[in-house]
Homo-oligomer: A and B are copies of this chain.
Amino acid sequence: MARTNSKAPVVERRAQRRGASDGKWRTALTCIEPNKILVRGYPLDEIMGRLTFGEAIYLLLMGEVPSPAIGSLMEAILVSFIDHGATPPSTLAARNTATTGASLRSCVAAGVLGFGRYHGGDIETCMHFLDTGLEMVRQGTSYHDAAEQILEKCLQSEEALPGFGHRFHTRDPRAARLFQMALELEIEGEHVQMIRAVEMVIAERDQTGTPLPVNIDGAIAAVCGDIGIPPGVANALFVISRVPGIAAHSREEAERHHPMRQIDPKDHFYDGPSQRRLPERRK
């Protein structure tokens, strides 16, 4: 009997998994009709000039127009990743592609492929990390004790602690800024509280004097959690936000440097404008 039953699922599962066509298929993103384009129900020409690119990205991925507060956070999250300089491996993959004379889209594709497990994956991982702690909190554990437990579990595993520390920065200015905005916009919630609790527990344990503060990945993970953005969408935001930087480095490589050069990431310097303030009207 068991054998019959256990044979069936084998075949079914193959069928389901390998399944060929499934007839008419559905999409809920964009409706195209002659002279009409509806994104999530809104005419695209009406969105133009009324929603910013960041708000339209939220609409496309989440299905609704964001509130002004969430819209502002979206812009800040997307801007926070706009460029990481010349040394990240994804940027170097794009520059190494650009130096061969490849098209911009080839360079961008090569760069995007470099968001591997160790590079950009932290946001999603950190969101799951915080959710594990929040489940304990919902069952009555204090934030501090929950933080103790998830930190301990992470340290015992082989995995790195997601959302903390940075190879360059002892204090990530982008994280501080995002937390400040979340506070001012009054969207701070349990995820921010959870990551703050973990930061505190690490500080308590620290006897080395080297702080391990929340980085931008961690800040985005917490803020996305508090505004209801699921991990998969947060990952999409990360990929989208890194593309302008990769495109800019690919263009600069093609325009400023000779083809087929050997690119040493450690052997460059910045010759752009020195530090300046934003125009008054921007403050």
Contacts and interface: CB of A to CB of B under 8 A. Distances in A.
Given A26-B256, A118-B17, A48 B236 contact: no
A174 interface: yes
Contacts of A114: 96-97, 100, 102, 106, 110
A106 B74 CA distance: 24
A140 interface: no
Given A4-B207, A116-B100, A79 B248 contact: no
Contact of A30 (B85, B90, B260): B85
A9 interface: yes
Interface residues of A, number: 171
A11 B166 CA distance: 10
A17 B258 contact: yes
A49 B160 contact: no
A51 B27 contact: no
A224 to B, nearest CB: 15
A93 B112 CA distance: 12
Contact of A35 (B39, B113, B169, B256): B169
Contacts of A259: 17, 19, 117-118
Interface in A255-272: 255-272
Contact of A165 (B10, B63, B273, B274): B10
B236 A248 contact: yes
A8 B152 CA distance: 13
Given A53-B75, A114-B97, A262-B266, A29 B174 contact: no
Contacts of A281: 68
A34 B168 contact: yes
Given A27-B85, A30-B245, A102-B116, 8 more contacts: A4-B207, A21-B262, A30-B83, A41-B275, A45-B173, A49-B181, A61-B247, A112-B112
13 contacts: A6-B205, A26-B270, A29-B245, A30-B84, A34-B170, A50-B282, A56-B79, A92-B93, A93-B93, A100-B117, A104-B232, A106-B113, A109-B110
